[in-house]
Amino acid sequence: MSATPQNNTDNQEIDLSQISKRIGSFFENIATQVFKAFLFFKRNIIWIGILFVLGAGLGYYFDKNNKVYNNQIIVCPNFGSTDYLYAKISLINSKIQEQDTLFLKEVVGIKNPAKFIKIEVQPISDIYKFIEERDKNFEVLKLMAEDGDVKKIINDNLTSKNYPYHLISFVTLNETSKDKTVEPLLKYFNDSDYYKVIQKQFMDNVKIKIADNDSIISQINGVLNTISSTNASPKGDKLFYYNENSQLGDVLKIKHEINYEQGMRRLDLINLDKIIKDNSHTLNIKNKESLNGKMKYAIPFFFIGIFVLFGLIKRYYKYQMAKLNN
């Protein structure tokens, strides 16, 4: 009866011994491979040194002569031209991918099309400005939020395209300037016969509204001057109004609202002078993504990696040939 437990103990000891041997053999094999790698680098130290210096020199040359820069333009599409702007940028990007430098130079007007790598546009999320511009926007947003996540709705493509400001980002090889890229792009975006007609009519409407408001303000001022002369104090030239005169308060409130509207209309004349109005631009932000500016490090290790891979293939070939011969 006592022999069975003894056998189990012996089997466990044998299993542990085998596991211990396998672990030891595994680490010994790793140590052997590390030593072989050390011998490989020692035998080929001259070649590795040459490849490292050659790769570093070549990488430094690429980093110096092919610097990548990010550039940004903040724009405001007017007259409902947001989709038009996005379509234009999508077309430019497709021409870049097709390497159609003739289109980029002759149609868009970019001075160095071969250096123009990429362009994209995205809305600048500003939900407060979105709500401020139209009361209906707030009601629509509340209605949509009842059936879904507010954050998701705010970032939704359909909602975000209605934000007033959008960020155009483009990437160039080497530094660029306003006259080489920004001005040609804006000129291309604003070249639309359809939106030019809408712009003219809209501007005419704004000017008519300003003229009408000026006329109303003039009439209100005439009424106020009449009241001033009627209620003037005989002891001095200072004027006063009775607070209980609600009609006079309404007139002053209307004048204040019209003056505010006049200010906004005059701002419209400034902001609506272009179909795609540019607010600001930032150029030549050094791009440090991926391997940009790091070729001096990447190329040497790439060359050495290829050399090591070739050595492994050569070693594997000799090993297989030895097996065949045996």
Higher pLDDT, 232 or 197: 197
- Tens digits of residue pLDDT in 10-49: 555 556 677 777 777 777 778 777 877 778 778 888 888 8
Confidence class for position 268, pLDDT limits 50, 70, 90: confident
Beta carbons of 169 and 121 less than 8 angstroms apart: yes
| Residue 209 to residue 272: CA distance in whole angstroms | 15
| Residue 316 to residue 322: CA distance in whole angstroms | 10
Q: Helix (H, G, I), strand (E, B), or coil: what is residue 133?
A: helix
| Residue 52 to residue 303: CA distance in whole angstroms | 7
Q: Calculate Rg over the CA atoms of the chain.
A: 38
| Residue 119 to residue 28: CA distance in whole angstroms | 55
User: How far is C-alpha 175 from the chain's CA centre?
Assistant: 19
3-state secondary structure 284-298: EEECCCCCCCCHHHH
Q: What is the mean pLDDT of residues 293-306?
A: 78
pLDDT of residue 4: 56
Give residue 281's region: left, alpha or beta (phi > 0; psi -120 to 50): beta
Confidence class for position 260, pLDDT limits 50, 70, 90: confident
Beta carbons of 77 and 85 less than 8 angstroms apart: yes
pLDDT of residue 89: 95
What are the structural domain ranges in the chain?
A: 1-33, 44-65+293-326, 66-193+277-286, 199-271
Q: What mean pLDDT is reported for the chain?
A: 79
- Tens digits of residue pLDDT in 127-178: 655 555 555 555 555 555 555 555 555 555 556 677 888 999 999 988 899 9
- Tens digits of residue pLDDT in 111-128: 999 999 999 999 887 665
Q: Which helix (H) or strand (E) holds 21?
A: helix 3-43
- Whether residue 240 is predicted with pLDDT greater than 70 in this model: the reply is no
